[in-house]
Structure formats: structure tokens, C-alpha cells
């Protein structure tokens, strides 16, 4: 399978689907979330402080309890504990009874507020509930509230609407001492509830994954880097969202159990986180599987290419190391071939000079050229010289007729040229026959 087709089928299309589902999950979590408001307590509240919640139909004044220390965590504890136990519990159970047909007990459908916290304050609240459920057990732990979030503690109010309220949903206080809100409200000024952008975090993750996938498709050379970054982002976000999911589920369970028993608590937050973590896990698994398949395909393609290579190329790859003597011999053979080609191209007159020059240019170590002249020709030459000397003694001139010249030329040896450096001398036809016996020197020819 081609790499682009493999990317489209194994990663690109699932990435768009998973990214789109994450975006839809974030949009649903943002649109359907309950209105909320977060405040930070940085110390003891004012003694005359009065905090009131309102939705336009009803209002509820917070019970600030009786804090025994100046720790911010203890002041937050009393605010959260009393709101959930004395307000949210009764309203939720009354609404639940009406939903199940108990209309004769005087219950009225009501909207209500509940609250939670984070950090050490949330741990102390959970431990307080465990102590309440197992009163007298050995596992109960006494909490020292004076050491719980001494300088800062967070309180989050959530509004659960059951009756149509005209709004707005607000929090009002006559004294905002040690309540950190930006911008700082004035006394008796109301602060409105709203939606939190953090509910859209799954949608942001989906957009990031889609952008990384598009980058991998647009830049093929950096495809691997984009997809590795996408897997890394998805894996990190999976662990973060899973941790948040565990915290959200623990918070929901804490509110539904004793001592609060808020039956109609919203389950939207843990549901959104569960869907987000599941989608991220699927994306990571698909990417890991695609990486493994891509590696297998690459190995298979390399094996096919290796099989298609001719045997000659494989033989050439195995190079035998040459020695110095072999290199010298090969050079000498190449030089001799070049000289032979030059000699073959030259005319016959220049062949002798070229052969002699080549023999002179050879190294002293090279073997000397063999003497190609025949012994018989040398003997004939000696006889001719003796005959000439005898004729000159007797006072007669050398033969000048054309026949004699022709005979002298025919007696000379014929030389045949070959393509090699050595020359072969062919003896004259007269020499091939039996040689005549030598005449005495005083007899004329």
C-alpha cells in the first residue's frame, strides 16, 4: 500500500473523526454546563459579613458557621458544608420525591445551589464525610482545620435549575473582606454566575489533533514529526483528563452520599471527561498500530527491492582487495594494449620506429624482445658479401642488369607485420629449398 493511501486510511480519516467528536464533546460540555461562580478566600471573613445567593425567584443566605481559627480552609469548610447539608439536600430530595409521584407531602419543585472545593480543603471535606459514615471506626481521622489551606482556599458554587427562574443568578455580600474577586466588588454589589471556558478543553484538544494531522499531510517530509507530536499531545492529555475524571467522579460520589445525599447532582462533568479520555486513548492506539504497520510495510518493500536486484550487482558489491603486484600487472597490460592500438593505426613505415621506441621505453626489468631474424638469412648475407669481394678482386663490376637486381631483391628476406609488437621474418622461397653447396673461392660465379 502506498504511504499516502496508508496515511489516509489508518491515521488521517480517524484523526478527523476523533478530533471532530472531541470538538462536539467540548461544545456540549460548554453549552449544557450549569452556571457557576468561583471565589477565593484568603483569610478570615468579616464578622458582619452576609453572603446571599439569588436567582430572581428565591434567595438563600449562606451560613458562615463558627470558625475556630483564621485559616481560610476552615471558613470555606463551614460555607460549603452548611450550604450542601441545609439547602441542597432538602431541595434535591423534595424534587426527587415529586418526580416519583409524592405530591401529597407538600414538596415544591425548587432550584438550588451546591458547593465544592479543591486541594487540601476538598480532601478535608471528603475525610469529614468518611468520618460521618463510619462514626466510631478506627479509620476515622481527626482533622485540624487550623492547618488546612491557611492562606488560600477555593469555593465553587454551582446552580442547579429545576424551576424556571428569571435570573440573573447572583452572589451578594455587604462586606467582601478577604474574598479575592477580580475586579474587586463594592459592598452590597452583586456578582453574576456564568459558564466556564474550561468546559471546552476537549474541543481545544480536538482542534490541535486535526491541525497536526493536516500539517503531516501538507508537509510529507515532516510527516513523522507531526504524527509523533500528535501522539505525544494525545497521550499527555489522556493522563491529565483521566486524572481530572477521577477527581470529578470522586466529587460527584461525595455529594450524592452521606451526609449530603444530593441525589440530583449533575453528572455532565464526569461524562464529558470520560468521553474525552476514551477518544484520546483510541487515537493513541490507532497511531501506535499505524506506526507498527508502516514499519512492516517499509521492511517488506526493502526486501522486495533486494530480491529484484540482478545477481551481477550483488557480485560487484563483493569486491576482492587487490595487491600491489596485481595493480602493476594490470597497468602494464593496459599500457601495452594502448601501444598496440597506436601501432595498428600508424602506417607501415612508422611501425619499425614505434616498435623500437616502445622497446626502448620499456623498463629495464621487462624482458628483452626476441631476435626475429633467421640464422639462414644471416648466412646468406655473409655469402653475398664474400661473392662481391671476389668479383672486385678479379676486376669485374657488380651485376647491373635488371635481372640481377631482381634476383638480389628476391633474395632479401620478406618481413610481415602483425598487430603484436614482435615481427616475423619470412625467408625467401629460394631459402626454403635445400641450400647449394659452397663453391671454391677461386671459381667465378
What digits encode the pLDDT tens for the residues 31-70? 999 999 999 999 999 989 999 999 989 999 999 998 889 9
- Whether 297 shows a pLDDT value over 90: the answer reads no
Q: Is 21 in contact with 133 (CB distance < 8 Å)?
A: no
Residues 175 and 203 in one domain: no
Mean pLDDT of 82-96: 92
pLDDT digits (tens, 9 = 90+) for 111-125: 999 999 999 999 999
Find the distance separating the first CA and the last CA of the chain, reported in whole Å.
Answer: 102
- Whether 23 shows a pLDDT value over 50: the answer reads yes
Residues 124 and 3 in one domain: no
Q: Is residue 381 part of a domain?
A: no
Q: Which three cell numbers stand for residue 101?
A: 409521584
Give this prediction's pTM: 0.64
pLDDT band of residue 439 (cuts 50, 70, 90) is: very low
pLDDT of residue 322: 54
pLDDT digits (tens, 9 = 90+) for 158-192: 999 988 888 899 999 999 999 998 888 999 999 99
pLDDT of residue 295: 78
CA 124/CA 139 separation, integer angstroms: 14
pLDDT of residue 240: 94
CA 303/CA 387 separation, integer angstroms: 87
- Whether 315 shows a pLDDT value over 60: the answer reads no
- Whether 324 shows a pLDDT value over 80: the answer reads no
Q: Is residue 340 part of a domain?
A: no
pLDDT of residue 205: 93
Exposure class string for 359-376: b at 16+ Cβ within 10 A, else e: eeebeeeeeeeeeeeeee
pLDDT band of residue 299 (cuts 50, 70, 90) is: confident
Please compute Rg for the chain using Cα positions. 56
pLDDT of residue 211: 93
- Whether 107 shows a pLDDT value over 70: the answer reads yes
pLDDT band of residue 133 (cuts 50, 70, 90) is: confident
Query: Considering only 179-183, 234-238, 427-431, which range has the smallest mean pLDDT?
Result: 427-431
pLDDT band of residue 345 (cuts 50, 70, 90) is: low
Residues 84 and 219 in one domain: no
Residues 267 and 221 in one domain: yes
Burial classification of residue 55, based on how many CB atoms lie within 10 Å of its CB (0-12 exposed, 13-18 middle, 19 or more buried): buried
Mean pLDDT of 64-89: 93
Residues 56 and 175 in one domain: yes
Residues, the chain:
445
Query: Considering only 17-21, 220-224, 302-306, which range has the smallest mean pLDDT?
Result: 302-306
Residues 74 and 182 in one domain: yes
Query: Considering only 153-162, 195-204, 308-317, which range has the smallest mean pLDDT?
Result: 308-317
Q: SS3 for the chain, per residue?
A: CCHHHHHHHHHHHHHHHHHHHHHHHHHHHHHCCCCEEEEEECCCCCCCCCEEEECCCCEEECCCCCCCCCCHHHHHHHHHHHHHHHHHHHHHHHHHHHHCCCCCCCCCCCCEEEEEECHHHHHHHHHHHHHHHCCCCCCCCCCCHHHCCCCCEEEEEEEECCCCCCCCCEEEECCCCCEECCCCCCCCCEEECECCHHHHHHHHHHHHHHHHHHHHHHCHHHHHHHHHHHHHHHHHHHHHHHHHHHHHHHHHHHHHCCCCCCCCCCCHHHHHHHHHHHHHHHHHHHHHHHHHHHHHHHHHHHHHHHHHCCHHHHHHHCCCCCCHHHHHHHHHHHHHHHHHHHHHHCCHHHHHHHHHHHHHHCCCCCCCCCCCCCHHHHHHHHHHHHHHHHHHHHCCCCCCCHHHHHHHHHHCCEEECCCCCCCEEECCHHHHCCCCCCCCCCCCC
- Whether 419 shows a pLDDT value over 60: the answer reads no
The boundaries of the domain holding residue 286 are 1-33+198-301
Mean pLDDT of 61-82: 93
Please say which residue of 161, 194, 227 terminates a domain: 194
Residues 151 and 84 in one domain: yes
Q: Is residue 153 part of a domain?
A: yes
* 68, 117, 153 from 92: Cα distances, Å: 30, 20, 26
Please say which residue of 169, 194, 219 terminates a domain: 194
Residues 46 and 187 in one domain: yes
Q: Is 155 in contact with 117 (CB distance < 8 Å)?
A: yes
Which of 101-115, 123-137, 231-245 ranks highest by mean pLDDT?
231-245
Domain count, the chain: 2
pLDDT band of residue 430 (cuts 50, 70, 90) is: very low
Give 11 or 19, the one with higher predicted confidence.
19
Q: Is residue 347 part of a domain?
A: no
Residues 56 and 186 in one domain: yes
Residues 23 and 128 in one domain: no
Q: Is residue 27 part of a domain?
A: yes
Residues 5 and 73 in one domain: no
Rounded mean pLDDT of the chain? 77
Please say which residue of 301, 335, 367 terminates a domain: 301
Amino acid at each position: 500500500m502506498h504511504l499516502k493511501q496508508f496515511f489516509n486510511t489508518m491515521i488521517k480519516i480517524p484523526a478527523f473523526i476523533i478530533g471532530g467528536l472531541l470538538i462536539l464533546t467540548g461544545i456540549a460540555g460548554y453549552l449544557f454546563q450549569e452556571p457557576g461562580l468561583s471565589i477565593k478566600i484568603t483569610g478570615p471573613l468579616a464578622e458582619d459579613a452576609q453572603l446571599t445567593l439569588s436567582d430572581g425567584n428565591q434567595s438563600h443566605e449562606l451560613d458562615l458557621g463558627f470558625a475556630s481559627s483564621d485559616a481560610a480552609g476552615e471558613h470555606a469548610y463551614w460555607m460549603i458544608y452548611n450550604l450542601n447539608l441545609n439547602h441542597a439536600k432538602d431541595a434535591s430530595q423534595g424534587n426527587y420525591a415529586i418526580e416519583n409521584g409524592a405530591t401529597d407531602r407538600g414538596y415544591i419543585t425548587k432550584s438550588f445551589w451546591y458547593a465544592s472545593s479543591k486541594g487540601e480543603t476538598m480532601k478535608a471535606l471528603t475525610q469529614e464525610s468518611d468520618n460521618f459514615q463510619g462514626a466510631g471506626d478506627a479509620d476515622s481521622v481527626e482533622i485540624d482545620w487550623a492547618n488546612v489551606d491557611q492562606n488560600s482556599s477555593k469555593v465553587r458554587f454551582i446552580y442547579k435549575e429545576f424551576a424556571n427562574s428569571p435570573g440573573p443568578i447572583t452572589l451578594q455580600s455587604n462586606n467582601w473582606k478577604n474574598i479575592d474577586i477580580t475586579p474587586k466588588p463594592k459592598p452590597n454589589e452583586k456578582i453574576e454566575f456564568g459558564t466556564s471556558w474550561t468546559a471546552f478543553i476537549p474541543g481545544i484538544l480536538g482542534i490541535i489533533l486535526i491541525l497536526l494531522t493536516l500539517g503531516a499531510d501538507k508537509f510529507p517530509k515532516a510527516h513523522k514529526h507531526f504524527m509523533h507530536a500528535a501522539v505525544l499531545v494525545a497521550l499527555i492529555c489522556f493522563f491529565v483528563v483521566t486524572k481530572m475524571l477521577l477527581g470529578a467522579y470522586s466529587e460527584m460520589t461525595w455529594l450524592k452520599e452521606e451526609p449530603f445525599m444530593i441525589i440530583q447532582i449533575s453528572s455532565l462533568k464526569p461524562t464529558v471527561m470520560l468521553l474525552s479520555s476514551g477518544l484520546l486513548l483510541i487515537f493513541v492506539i490507532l497511531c501506535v498500530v499505524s506506526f507498527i504497520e508502516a514499519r512492516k510495510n517499509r521492511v517488506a518493500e526493502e526486501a522486495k527491492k533486494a530480491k529484484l536486484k540482478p545477481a551481477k550487482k550483488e557480485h560487484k558489491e563483493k569486491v576482492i582487495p587487490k595487491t600491489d603486484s596485481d595493480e602493476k600487472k594490470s597497468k602494464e597490460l593496459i599500457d601495452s594494449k594502448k601501444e598496440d592500438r597506436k601501432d595498428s593505426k600508424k602506417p607501415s613505415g612508422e611501425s619499425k620506429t614505434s616498435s623500437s621506441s616502445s622497446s626502448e621505453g620499456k623498463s629495464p626489468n621487462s624482458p628483452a624482445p626476441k631476435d626475429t631474424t633467421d640464422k639462414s638469412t644471416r648466412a646468406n648475407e655473409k655469402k653475398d658479401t664474400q661473392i662481391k669481394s671476389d668479383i672486385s678482386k678479379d676486376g669485374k663490376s657488380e651485376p647491373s642488369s635488371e635481372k640481377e637486381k631482381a634476383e638480389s631483391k628476391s633474395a632479401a628476406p620478406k618481413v610481415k607485420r602483425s598487430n603484436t609488437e614482435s615481427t616475423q621474418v619470412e625467408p625467401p622461397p629460394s631459402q626454403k629449398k635445400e641450400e647449394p653447396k659452397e663453391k671454391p673461392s677461386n671459381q667465378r660465379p
